[in-house]
Amino acid sequence: MDGVKHIVAVASGKGGVGKSTVTVNLALALSAQGYRVGVLDADIYGPSQAQMLGVKEGVRPESTGDNKFLPLTAHGLQAMSMAFLANTREAMVWRGPMVVGAFQQMLTQTQWDNLDFLLIDMPPGTGDIQLTLAQKVPVSGAVIVTTPQDIALLDARKGIEMFRKVNVPVLGVVENMSLYHCENCGHEAAIFGTGGGDSIAEEYQTTVLGRLPLTLSIRELADSGSPSVVSEPDSSVSQTFAEIARQVAQSVSASESGGPTISFSE
């Protein structure tokens, strides 16, 4: 793609595991490490990146003379979302071809400006958007977000299997909500179980990029439009995202240079 060096899909097999929160904080962590980063919100039915990036409702991207959109800028990131193009208070009652068409338009008609990484916040599941992405542009890798519970892992496996079928390397797994941390008393509890990320990483010969706690501040900061990495850069959560970002960048670089790559062969 013009203006983009590497595309990384952030995906999950099911909704509600914190994929969008991971996407925006991972993008900000990469940006903090000196990379030029963009975020494409591919969830047409339920875009959330606009709110997480603090973009006010009703703000629209400018168009260029060659029928392209200029991405909006927030917290140093270039961003494009269906929330910038339509009224998000109205339901998108669209069939599959319309959704795919909207995604392709955002993907190919956004004039990205010299990005090192374009992170794509994928909708949950393994459907049209995922297949269209794999067929239309070269994807450097995918990050799978899951929670430790067995039900979430069932769907995470489907996500990994889908990327295997379209020859997109899985860079690793992010285990979200791995441990509940009470910010008042400090008590910790593994509400969703333990070991889920390790088991799926071992099963598919990949790695656990990081484990994120279930804390109130992560949710509050994302909802307010100032995610953890920019609001609390020295916190343990932000440091975890920084380490995830380093591993993602290293994996993509190693793959490009012909170094060790993740292989999924029968």
Give the model confidence (pLDDT) of 190-223 as tens digits: 888 888 889 999 999 999 999 999 988 999 999 9
Q: How far apart are CA 6 and CA 207, in angstroms?
A: 20
Phi and psi at residue 241, to the nearest 5°: -65, -35
Phi and psi (nearest 5°) for 216?
A: -65, -35
Residues of the binding site for ATP: 13-20
| Residues 173-182 pLDDT 10s | 999 999 887 8
Give one DSSP letter per residue of 179-207, joined into a string. Answer: SEE-TTT--EE-TT-SSHHHHHHHHTT--
pLDDT at 263 over 60: no
CATH code of 75's domain? 3.40.50.300
Does residue 202 lie within any of the structural domains? yes
Other beta carbons within 10 angstroms of residue 3's beta carbon come to 15
Query: 51-64, pLDDT tens digit by residue?
Result: 999 999 999 999 98
Bridge partners (DSSP) of residue 254 are: none
Structural domain harbouring 10: 4-256
Is 261 part of a structural domain of the chain?
no
Lowest mean pLDDT: which of 145-154, 164-173, 180-189? 180-189
Question: Rounded CA gap, 255 and 104, in Å?
Answer: 26
Burial of 64 (0-12, 13-18, 19+ CB in 10 A): exposed
- Asked if 24 and 52 count as a contact pair (C-beta separation under 8 A), the reply is yes
| Beta carbons of 3 and 111 less than 8 angstroms apart | yes
262 is a domain residue:
no
Provide the pLDDT for residue 195. 84
Q: How many domains does the chain have?
A: 1
- Within a domain: residue 264? no
Tokens 């669209």 label which residue?
A: 94
Taking residues 33-42, what's their average pLDDT?
A: 98
50 is a domain residue = yes
Question: How far apart are alpha carbons 212 and 170 in whole angstroms?
Answer: 19
Ranges of H-type helices in 46-149: 49-52, 96-108, 128-136
Question: pLDDT above 70 covers what percent of the chain?
Answer: 96
Q: In this structure, what are the phi and psi dihedrals at residue 211, rounded to the nearest 5 degrees?
A: -125, 130
Residues annotated within the binding site are 13-20
DSSP bridge pairs for 37? 117
Contacts of 65 (CB under 8 A, 6+ apart): none
Report the alpha-carbon distance of residue 218 to residue 216 in Å, rounded.
Answer: 6
Cα-based angle 76, 81, 87 (whole degrees, multiple of 5) = 125
Task: Look up the pTM and report it.
Answer: 0.92
Q: How confident is residue 254, by pLDDT bands cut at 50, 70 and 90?
A: confident
95-128, pLDDT tens digit by residue?
989 999 999 999 999 999 999 999 999 998 888 9
- The pLDDT assigned to 258 comes to 56
Q: At residue 30, what is the residue type?
A: L
241 located within any domain: yes
